[in-house]
Amino acid sequence: MLSENTYWTSILKKVFYVIISIISVIVALKLAVFYMPFLIAFIISLMMEPAIKKIMEKLKFSRRLSSIIVFVIVFGTILGLLIWGISTIVSEASNLLSGFNEYYEKINNQIQNIIKSIDLGKLNISNQLIQIVQDATSSLLERLSVYLQRFLTQLIKFVTSIPTIAIYFAVTILALYFICTDKIYMIDELEHHLPEKWVKEIATHLKQITKTLGGYLKAQATLILISFTISLIGLYIMYFAGLNVGFPLLIALGIGFVDALPILGSGTVMIPWAIISGLNGDLTLGISIIILLIIMSVTRQFIEPKIVSGNIGIHPIFTIIAMYTGFKLIGVLGMFVGPILLIILKNIFSDFIDNGILKSILGTG
């Protein structure tokens, strides 16, 4: 009887540990969103660390001086990009909103003309079914236009709220400075105030998570940045060449957003755009988009193996499940958060997963 009670107590402890761990990870992610400026500063500091160490090693400067040199360069770059990005986004988004109804009518007419141009008589499809398809297409476009208008309005509202951006920017920059210059002091303080066992446990898990999740995010961010940069340069070349590309930065941001989603890629946006442009008679634009997509794909395929050195060990089907679950729970943001949460939990429960989750909890072999 005693051994049976001990057995079930052990199982309850393991279940409790799993539940507490999952809740802790979710709370940590929510706190990360709440303290986003500090998270951004921490991520940038990790990217700056190799440069700081290089200056310390080559020039024999102190950590503080090396950090200040790198910090000034990064600060100037971020400030310049922020000013250019805000001014361009406001200009393009405002122009798009002002002529939105005209663009919507053009796209809707193009799609309806494409549907009508297809010889559906050979397929013995009734006029009623064709009308249903046309109505459904119009309804889908109308919904997308509403979402896009809301997004553009909120985007302009956000980027024009100078005090809010100034506060976020100032906090991020200050946090970045102190994290870089006083990193050793912060680590010492953490070790001083937390129990030694906790520090070791946190350090072990943090090291594992940073190695897999940090490496994965860094690699994906680099690939997305490369795709965004190539698409932005290509779109601006088309824009200056007189092709029908009215909003290069907004389109490049949209391509980067889709490229950031696991499984999906930039082709999800660019291939339909090229097809519609070609069917609409603008073959030059359609071919240009396909050429740009090929350049992006070839560059990504060439660079990706060098950047992504290891596999995170998660099958694509589980990534899709994590994306879908995140989307159902918290919307579009969940498509990013879901896979990240999956990677974190996989690292925390690596022993359970390796031995079989139920076997580990129930203590069976």
Kindly report, residue by residue over 227-260, the tens digit of the pLDDT: 888 999 999 999 888 888 888 888 888 888 787 7
User: What pLDDT shows up at residue 300?
Assistant: 77
User: What pLDDT shows up at residue 5?
Assistant: 64
Least reliable range by pLDDT among 52-56, 140-144, 347-351: 347-351
The answer, yes or no, to whether residue 123 has pLDDT greater than 60, is no
The answer, yes or no, to whether residue 309 has pLDDT greater than 60, is no
Gap between the terminal Cα atoms of the chain: 22
CA torsion sign for 84, 87, 89, 92 is negative
Measure the CA–CA gap between 214 and 208, rounded to whole angstroms.
9
Number of Cβ within a 10 Å radius of residue 69: 15
Q: Could you tell me if 108 and 138 are in contact, meaning their C-beta atoms sit under 8 angstroms apart? A: yes
Residue 351: band (very low, low, confident or very high) from pLDDT cuts 50, 70, 90: low
Least reliable range by pLDDT among 58-72, 86-100, 143-157, 200-214: 200-214
Nearest to 176 by CA among 27, 308, 288, 41: 41
User: And the tokens for 285?
Assistant: 């634009």
Give tens-digit pLDDT for 264-308: 678 888 888 888 788 777 888 889 999 998 998 888 777 766 665
The residue with tokens 């009623």 is 128
User: What pLDDT shows up at residue 315?
Assistant: 66
User: What pLDDT shows up at residue 133?
Assistant: 66
Q: Exposure of 297 by Cβ count < 10 A (0-12 exposed, 13-18 middle, 19+ buried)? A: middle
The residue with tokens 């429960």 is 349
Residues 6+ apart with CB under 8 A from 294: none
Helix (H, G, I), strand (E, B) or coil at 185: helix
Residue 42: band (very low, low, confident or very high) from pLDDT cuts 50, 70, 90: confident
Nearest to 44 by CA among 176, 160, 140, 155: 176
User: What pLDDT shows up at residue 233?
Assistant: 92
CA dist 45 to 48, 173, 297, 309, Å?
A: 5, 10, 30, 22
Number of Cβ within a 10 Å radius of residue 185: 10
User: What pLDDT shows up at residue 189?
Assistant: 67
The answer, yes or no, to whether residue 72 has pLDDT greater than 70, is yes
The answer, yes or no, to whether residue 43 has pLDDT greater than 70, is yes
The answer, yes or no, to whether residue 152 has pLDDT greater than 80, is no
Residues 6+ apart with CB under 8 A from 262: 316, 319, 320, 323, 335, 339
336, HSE (Cβ side, Cα atoms, 13 Å): 11
User: What pLDDT shows up at residue 191?
Assistant: 66
User: And the tokens for 115?
Assistant: 């549907």
Q: Could you tell me if 64 and 181 are in contact, meaning their C-beta atoms sit under 8 angstroms apart? A: yes
The answer, yes or no, to whether residue 12 has pLDDT greater than 70, is yes
How high is the mean pLDDT of the chain? 76
User: What pLDDT shows up at residue 41?
Assistant: 86
Determine the average pLDDT of the residues in 169-192: 78
Measure the CA–CA gap between 251 and 257, rounded to whole angstroms.
10
